[in-house]
Structure 1
Amino acid sequence: MKRELLAGLLLLTMAAGLYWRSLNTGSDQTVLSPETEPDFIARSLRTRAYDSSGRLNAEIAADQMQHFQDDALTEFARPVYLLYPEGGDGVWKIQSEAGQLQQNRYLLLEQEVVVTAIEPGEPLQTIHTDQLALDLETMVMTTESMIRAEGNTFTLQARGLWADLNTNRIELKDRVSATYEVQ
């Protein structure tokens, strides 16, 4: 009888110890709520977007994409956008380390943002900045951050930018300084 009582107490003690351990390790783990988990994740993503008339207006590539359907939000790791503005001859390549697409329209790019004119005849060749916002419907990009731009015969720096990629019109906001090369 003493052996059975001792074995029962030992089993009860082990069960209590395992239960206590699971409570302690379980409280250290963070459980994500369904609202914070993406609806899907894609790796090595490559896609094309067309307008209503079937004209190619963007190509998108990213190392990783997370889509949150309820928030109409897509997050990108190392996105690269190729944009074909309406009526414009130029093709623009925009890349960064991180990006977000909100409501399938507003693109926010951060960390080492580089805008490159693919067409060699464009006077403005590259723009470097830390943050950039782009409305994909109007093709207007803006930033309040410092920019460095390079062209065929000039280099400039400024704080803030407004650019319409459809009309190739660019406005620099503040602290503009430029260096021109005379040929």
Structure 2
Amino acid sequence: MNRTTLAICAFFGLALVLYWQVQIKRSEMALVVDTRIERPDFVADELHTTEFNKQGFVDSKMSAKHMEHFSTSNTTLFTEPVLLLYPQNGEAKWQITAEKATLEQNANQVSLHNDVIIDAIDIEEPLQSLETQQVTFNLDTMIGRSEEPVIIKGNGFLITGLGLFADLNAEEITLLSQVEGTYEPH
């Protein structure tokens, strides 16, 4: 063999060894798991759940297209939730829908986000629907709060405002600022 052939063989051999080392490193990196990313402890699709209070009465019912629960933070994430709230051991009066919801079980509160709609279940209710982009409800006190723009529709009236305080047990809703409304008598 002459020197040129020997140099070419050595060059290709070195290239093969370097390629093999890169592939081994790439395989090792693929096996490394990022421990900073919290993984859900369990996941459910087409979820339906009912929560009872200490007296045995229904507190709330929730259904969702998708759910993920994280035990380290005691938080549950919902996609397309539908929440029925039962104030003070009564009948369900409000159905709440949204694109996303987060249930913080330590605080027993649910935050609903994106296209939040609160509909009255009873068609005789003067207030028929409320729309906003975010609202948080404490499930113990049935008090809801929002800092977002709010639209309230009812039988013959439309009210808009910024911010919301709602006490579902007392059946009171207060818009916090920039309140405007129109009323059309029947």
**Which residue in 2 is equivalent to 1:175?**
178
1:106 aligns with 2:109: yes
Does the residue aligned with 2:151 lie in a helix, a strand or coil? strand
TM-score by length of 2: 0.84
How many residues are matched?
A: 175
TM-score by length of 1: 0.85
The structural deviation recorded for 1:57 is 1.8
1:123 aligns with 2:126: yes
Partner Cα distance (1:176, 1:30) in 2: 54
Judge conservation of contact 1:90–1:119 (CA < 8 Å) in 2: no
Judge conservation of contact 1:51–1:57 (CA < 8 Å) in 2: yes
Partner Cα distance (1:72, 1:46) in 2: 19
2:153 counterpart (150, 154, 177):
150
Partner Cα distance (2:138, 2:151) in 1: 21
* Structure 1 segments unaligned to the other structure (5+ residues): 1-5
The structural deviation recorded for 1:52 is 1.1
- Structure 1 counterpart of 2:167, which letter? D
**Which residue in 2 is equivalent to 1:160?**
163
Q: How large is the Cα RMSD of the aligned pairs?
A: 2.4
Does the residue aligned with 2:22 lie in a helix, a strand or coil? helix
The structural deviation recorded for 1:38 is 0.9
Does the residue aligned with 1:23 lie in a helix, a strand or coil? helix
Partner Cα distance (1:149, 1:13) in 2: 71
Judge conservation of contact 1:88–1:167 (CA < 8 Å) in 2: no
Change beyond 3 A, Cα 1:44–1:60: same
The structural deviation recorded for 1:155 is 0.6
Judge conservation of contact 1:63–1:79 (CA < 8 Å) in 2: yes
- Structure 2 counterpart of 1:112, which letter? D
The structural deviation recorded for 1:90 is 5.1
- Structure 1 counterpart of 2:49, which letter? T
What pairs up with 1:15-164 in 2 under 5 angstroms?
17-24=19-26, 27=29, 31-33=33-35, 36-89=38-91, 91-103=93-105, 105-164=108-167
Deviation track 1:106-130 (CA, whole Å, cap 9, x = no partner) reads 1111100000110122111100000
